[in-house]
Structure 1
Amino acid sequence: MSSYTNGGVVVVVDEMEKRERSAGGHLVLLPCPLQGHMNPMLHLANLLHSKGFSITIVHTQFKSPNPSGYPSDINFKSIPDGLSKDQEDDLVSLLLNLNLNCEAPVRDFLLQMQSNRSGQEPFLGIIHDASLYFVSAIADDMKLPRFAFKTNNMTFYVGYLLTTQKGCHPIKDEELEEPVFVLPFLKIKDLPEVKSSDLHIQVGKMVDATRTATAVICNTLKQLEQNALPMFQQDLSIPVFLVGPLHKYSISPPTTATDRSCISWLDTQAPSSVIYISFGSLVTISGSELVEMAWGLANSKKNFLWVVRPSSVHNSQWVELLPKEFEELITNGRGRIVKWVPQQEVLAHPAIGGFWTHSGWNSTLESITEGVPMLCSPRFGDQRINARLVSCVWGVGIQIENDGMERGLIEKSIRRVMVDKEGMEMKRRAMDLKEKIEISLNKGGSSYVASEKLKFFIKNG
């Protein structure tokens, strides 16, 4: 007998289960080393491991995952990448260098692994983050099945298609408020921006690598994206497996040190009384925005749990730019400011009544799966599209337009979500959506069935 720990739960694996797993076949997973991409891939690894596959995760040295907390027979292999922490601030440069620097070491590893597999379970293919388009050439040369994994949603993919059709030409101001013809709940300004020819070329390569994959795996479910699903499937013309939300299958160990004292503080708060604020792992704000957020929170009269990452405020190490008067609110127990939290656990806590978010896809999924209404402040990438889904399609939140970092608007928006009748309706719809998602994950549900079909497809083609 052997065991491992997942989310504090000890899972025992007997020798019979190990033998069955080794007969399932071997998969290599290649995640992108950004937290919003890494975490879903690790959840996918856990899901596929539970389906009987043996797993090797090939990852960069840059922001490498922590293997502890995963089953001992999930293997982690580090490859050289030539990246530095400074490159994280320029996503275009980071993606370009990932695709340039990682092709040779990944190819060498796969060739070596394939040559050493005599007498072992079959090598069934590669699952790669869709942004790592270099994998396409390797899989073609080695004649391996290749599965593109999309960590964001189908609506964003359709938005990218519309953007690439336009090219990198600037959008005129008078066009920004116009609805998108094929997805009218979106406005032109919500579409992802492709401001440079370099990014335009990279996006084209990502789309091509997705279209030419053996199949596509998505961290979403059809109940959330009925509008985009037909266009998504029509563009790809290959099997698509909607297996999300993946974070509900397992708990991945945190990639950033978390402050668990916030959980005991939440335990002292009344149900649905606290607004939780977090803008994810990449968004930065100015000092003036920090101050406006603080006074908006103070004036809303609602208790708060606020994540402020170190160095996420321009020209500041942490929160030293906050007014002294605001700090007294924390001393008086009305709120907590922390550097990072176990977000899934926080959103599941009964004290949380709303989530002020940057609208990253992982955060959006984690919020709706717990029935928590959202206040959306999108900045870049897929965030504007996600915020529009939240506010205009699902009706489980509101979007602060034009960045909206003004204390009066913040106060009003918090109260709309947390206090007003409008917020109660959002909560009701959020709980309905939570129930639909739970049904999709249970036996016979759409995501459960998709994961079973994926298992069969990987094994049998």
Structure 2
Amino acid sequence: MENQTPKPKSNNHHLVLFPVPLQGHINPMLQLANILHSKGFSITIIHTHFNSPTKSNHPHFTFLPISDGFSKTKTSTEDAISHITLLNTNCVAPFRDCLARLLADGPIACLITDAILHFSQLVADGFGLPRIVLSTCSISSFLVFAALPVIQEKYLPKQDSQLESPVPEVLPLQVKDLPSMTTNDSEDFYKFLTNMVTQTKASSGLIWNTFSELEESALSQSRDLFPIPNFSIGPFHKSFPASSSTLLIQDRSSISWLDTQKLKSVLYVSFGSIAEMDRKEFNEMAWGLANSMQPFLWVVRPGFIRGSKWLEALPSGYAEKIGDRGCIVKWAPQQEVLAHFAVGGFWTHDGWNSTLESICEGVPMICSPCFGDQLVNAKYVSDVWGIGLRFEKGVERGEIERGIRRVMVEREGEEMRERILCLKEKVDVCLEDGGSSHQHLEELISYILSF
């Protein structure tokens, strides 16, 4: 007889989740919330006023806003580390007060908070509550972040002469692949990483939005570095799509346009919800896309080009040049786009959610990492898994044109597609009964019920 997941008991069925208020962090946290809700848990989401999720899309959750200490004029995420540092300072008292009110109404089985919100460990300890950490990046990236405070003096800031040098502490990375963040104070960055790692080690467990077959070696290393239960239960979005938690309005005309295109002919281009570029880079990108002669669906988010509201930075005569071969939108339903029969490649910034979504649909990638874990993800996509190619910074239109053709029409792209389709099959298996992610989810539920 098949093993059944034990149902939560009345006294420990309540979970409290707290996401970082950025699109790439809110999506996986709400997907995880849906997964756990489907297993019988009741869910409360504590969230900041900044980038608060759309509550009406999740009527089965309780949402509790807390003060984040940001005024409307101080919510820029240009200096991500400064923003994160302030979150970890400003949210302590409001989060503690919110938890106290919740506990007055009844027991909480455990907290699940983003690894970035390291302050929440001490708050949890104060209430005697177990805290489980959700990491929204890959295991490989998290391990690199954990190593950075120790190795940064040897390799950072990056010197041009060293960029291709290997980093023995975090192989297979080279110096150019080490995560970097835009910040006014690099010491804050390393202090934040040290706190994140220390408080993750002090937590009761770690949840990963990945699957064992993709990161088997990294998962083993994580269990050594973080000797707490590790649960790789992803990809989350295969259980619950992220469309209902997007902070941006999706333009569905992109799907209608894709419907008119040939099988695997379209290059989808999107650099996520935060990345920016200057006009010169944007122009090279635009001409590279046009000159490749491949159909493309291009997401140009308002604010993506520094100093421009939207498309005024496009070269003169560009619309006439591309005709019906290109479709440009402000935002697209990405998971639906990647699953569309017409899409044959994905030019991406390599955020972890985008990387996973591309793997899940068997779509090879062109990588243009901007900051943070994107550099590590791009390394694994191009050099380890062999499912894409990487553009370095400052790429010019001729190189872009050649890269697009390599992925979309040449034999090299076909080989990438074959490899990524093998990974896609492993995704399908890991989520089935008895698969690695399914099994880890069962273990996670039993673990929570043991508190």
- TM-score between both structures, scaled by the size of structure 2: 0.93
Counterpart secondary structure, 2:228: coil
Q: CA deviation at 1:144?
A: 0.4
Counterpart secondary structure, 2:216: coil
Aligned residues of 1:54 and 1:74 also touching (Cα < 8 A): yes
Matched with 1:28 is 16
Counterpart secondary structure, 1:319: coil
Segments of structure 1 that go 5 or more residues without pairing to the other structure are: 1-18
Amino acid at match of 2:377: N
In 2, Cα distance between equivalents of 1:337 and 1:77: 37
Q: CA deviation at 1:318?
A: 0.8
In 2, Cα distance between equivalents of 1:69 and 1:21: 27
Aligned residues of 1:99 and 1:132 also touching (Cα < 8 A): yes
Deviations 1:174-224 (A, max 9, x none): 332112225433112211237711111111111111111000111111111
Distance of aligned partners of 1:20 and 1:95 in 2 relative to their CA distance in 1, 3 Å threshold: closer
In 1, Cα distance between equivalents of 2:9 and 2:29: 20
Matched with 1:310 is 302
Q: CA deviation at 1:242?
A: 0.5
Moved over 4 A (4+): 19-24
Matched with 1:14 is none
Q: 2:134 aligns with which of 132, 149, 152?
A: 149
Aligned residues of 2:17 and 2:46 also touching (Cα < 8 A): yes
Matched with 2:174 is 187
In 1, Cα distance between equivalents of 2:351 and 2:114: 17
CA RMSD of aligned residues (A): 1.6
Matched with 1:57 is 45
Amino acid at match of 1:429: R
Q: CA deviation at 1:23?
A: 6.8
Amino acid at match of 2:341: P
Greater shift after overlay, 361-370 or 107-116?
Answer: 107-116
In 2, Cα distance between equivalents of 1:457 and 1:143: 17
Amino acid at match of 1:378: P
Amino acid at match of 2:177: D
RCO higher in structure (CA 8 A, sep ≥6): 2
Q: CA deviation at 1:50?
A: 0.6
Matched, 1:393 2:380: no
Q: What is the percent sequence identity of the aligned residues?
A: 49
In 2, Cα distance between equivalents of 1:356 and 1:22: 47
Aligned residues of 1:22 and 1:53 also touching (Cα < 8 A): no
Taking the TM superposition and a 5 Å limit, the aligned residue runs for 1:60-99 are 60-70=48-58, 72-83=59-70, 84=72, 86-99=75-88
Matched with 1:286 is 278
Matched, 1:170 2:163: no
Matched with 1:8 is none
In 2, Cα distance between equivalents of 1:21 and 1:412: 59
Taking the TM superposition and a 5 Å limit, the aligned residue runs for 1:119-130 are 122-130=107-115
Amino acid at match of 1:388: K
Taking the TM superposition and a 5 Å limit, the aligned residue runs for 1:311-460 are 311-330=303-322, 332-401=323-392, 403-460=393-450
Matched with 1:38 is 26
Counterpart secondary structure, 2:109: strand
Greater shift after overlay, 218-227 or 278-287?
Answer: 218-227
Aligned residues of 2:267 and 2:297 also touching (Cα < 8 A): yes
Greater shift after overlay, 250-259 or 269-278?
Answer: 250-259
Amino acid at match of 2:27: N
Counterpart secondary structure, 1:290: helix
Aligned residues of 2:12 and 2:109 also touching (Cα < 8 A): no
In 2, Cα distance between equivalents of 1:277 and 1:62: 27
Distance of aligned partners of 1:395 and 1:212 in 2 relative to their CA distance in 1, 3 Å threshold: same
Aligned residues of 1:44 and 1:246 also touching (Cα < 8 A): yes
Q: CA deviation at 1:324?
A: 2.7
Deviations 1:349-397 (A, max 9, x none): 0100000000010000010000000000011100111011111111110
- The number of equivalent residue pairs is 436
Aligned residues of 1:61 and 1:81 also touching (Cα < 8 A): yes
In 2, Cα distance between equivalents of 1:69 and 1:370: 25
Q: CA deviation at 1:162?
A: 2.4
In 2, Cα distance between equivalents of 1:130 and 1:361: 15
Deviations 1:130-179 (A, max 9, x none): 00011011111111010011000111112112211024653444332112
Amino acid at match of 2:105: N
Distance of aligned partners of 1:132 and 1:378 in 2 relative to their CA distance in 1, 3 Å threshold: same
Q: CA deviation at 1:87?
A: 2.6
Counterpart secondary structure, 1:435: helix
Counterpart secondary structure, 1:250: coil
Matched, 1:136 2:126: no
Segments of structure 2 that go 5 or more residues without pairing to the other structure are: 1-6
Aligned residues of 1:81 and 1:102 also touching (Cα < 8 A): yes
Aligned residues of 1:87 and 1:93 also touching (Cα < 8 A): no
Taking the TM superposition and a 5 Å limit, the aligned residue runs for 1:205-216 are 205-216=195-206
- TM-score between both structures, scaled by the size of structure 1: 0.91
Greater shift after overlay, 75-84 or 125-134?
Answer: 75-84
Deviations 1:88-128 (A, max 9, x none): 221111101111111111101111111122xxxx4101000
Deviations 1:295-319 (A, max 9, x none): 1011101000000110110111111
In 1, Cα distance between equivalents of 2:439 and 2:34: 17
